[in-house]
């Protein structure tokens, strides 16, 4: 049994320690908002926060999360009220939507550290997350919008 906190809830999971966190979240805990895209940390669809830091859950063994705190898209806010989620809706970012959990979690990790990122900061933080629908321009606009919303500018 490995114990970890997921979205504020204490969880005990029966999984071999090398099982990637992604599959513990999806197959054992039923949190399917975190996506499988590549399995080699090359697309970012599986991005979650581990103690507040964005990580690629497809290559993070669950043992590395033992005793630590994991936040998934389901736990980012209870009500889609996170400024990024609201900005994502305002900018109409998602198309197929499959990568968007990873996009939002990566962006949330960025804003937690850098409340007013430049375009270069966004490039650096977000280039690990692939979107085949090509929503990058709207992702960028939505991050800028969320920053402005926090400042009360929109």
Partner 1 sequence: MTQTIDQGRRTFIKASAAVGGGLLIGFYLPAASRLAEAAESPAPLRPNAWIRVGEDGKITVIVDKSEMGQGVMTALPMLVAEEMDAAWNQVRVETAPAAKAYINPLLGMQATGGSSSVRGSWEPLRKAGAAAREMLVAAAAQTWGVKADACRVANGEVSHPASGRRLGYGELTARAATLPVPNEVFLKDPQEFKLIGKPVPRLDTPQKVNGSAVFGLDVKVPGMLTATVVRCPVFGGKAASFDPKQAKRIRGVRHVLQIASGVAVVADGFWAAQQGAKALQVRWDEGAHAGLSSAGIRDKFATLAQRPGAVARSAGDAARALQGAARKIEAVYEVPYLAHATMEPMNCTAHVRKNGCEVWVPTQAQGRVQQTVAQVTGLPAESVTVHTTFLGGGFGRRFEQDFVAEAAQISKALGVPVKAVWTREDDMQHDFYRPATYNALSAGLDEKGLPVAWSHRIVGPSIMSRVFPNMVKNGIDPTSVEGAANLPYAIPNLQVEYTMHDPGVPVGFWRSVGSSQNAFITECFLDELAAAGGKDPFHLRRELLHAAPRHKAVLELAAAKAGWGKPLPKGLYRGIAVHESFTSFVAQVAEVSVSGEGEVKVHRVVCAVDCGMVVNPDTVRAQMESAIVYGLTAALKGEITVMGGRVQQSNFNDYPMLRMDEMPRVEVYIRPGADTPGGVGEPGTPPIAPAVANAIFAATGKRIRRLPIRAEDLKA
**Which stretches of the chain bind partner 1, using CB under 8 A?**
16, 19-20, 23, 26-28, 30-40, 42-43, 45, 72-74, 76-77, 80, 85, 88-89, 92-101, 104, 122-124, 126-140
Distance from C-alpha of 63 to C-alpha of 54, rounded to nearest angstrom: 17
Least gap, CB of 85 to partner 1 (angstroms): 5
Q: What is the DSSP string of 33-69?
A: TS--S-SSSSS-TTEEEETTEEEETTSSBGGGGTTSE
The answer to whether 150 and 83 are in contact (CB under 8 A) is yes
Nearer to partner 1, 17 or 52 (CB): 17
Nearer to partner 1, 68 or 94 (CB): 94
The answer to whether 64 and 58 are in contact (CB under 8 A) is no
Least gap, CB of 4 to partner 1 (angstroms): 16
Nearer to partner 1, 69 or 141 (CB): 141
User: Residue 12 phi/psi, 5° resolution?
Assistant: -115, 120
Nearer to partner 1, 97 or 115 (CB): 97
Which stretches does DSSP call E strand in the chain? 2-6, 9-13, 47-50, 53-56, 69-71
Least gap, CB of 77 to partner 1 (angstroms): 8
* Helices vs. strands in the chain: H and E counts, helices first: 6, 5
Least gap, CB of 68 to partner 1 (angstroms): 20
Least gap, CB of 63 to partner 1 (angstroms): 13
Nearer to partner 1, 11 or 72 (CB): 72
């Amino acid at each position: 049994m490995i114990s970890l906190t997921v979205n504020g809830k204490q969880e005990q999971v029966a999984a071999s320690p090398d099982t990637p966190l992604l599959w513990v979240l999806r197959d054992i805990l039923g949190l399917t908002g975190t996506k499988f895209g590549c399995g080699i940390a090359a697309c970012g669809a599986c991005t979650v926060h581990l103690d507040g830091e964005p990580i690629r859950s497809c290559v993070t063994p669950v043992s590395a999360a033992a005793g630590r705190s994991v936040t998934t898209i389901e736990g980012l806010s209870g009500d889609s009220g996170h400024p990024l989620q609201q900005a994502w809706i305002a900018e109409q970012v998602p198309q197929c939507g499959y990568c968007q959990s990873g996009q939002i979690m990566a962006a949330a990790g960025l804003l937690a550290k850098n409340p007013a990122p430049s375009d270069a900061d966004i490039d650096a933080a977000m280039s690990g997350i692939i979107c085949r629908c090509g929503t990058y321009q709207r992702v960028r606009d939505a991050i800028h919008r969320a920053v402005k919303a926090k400042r009360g500018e929109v």
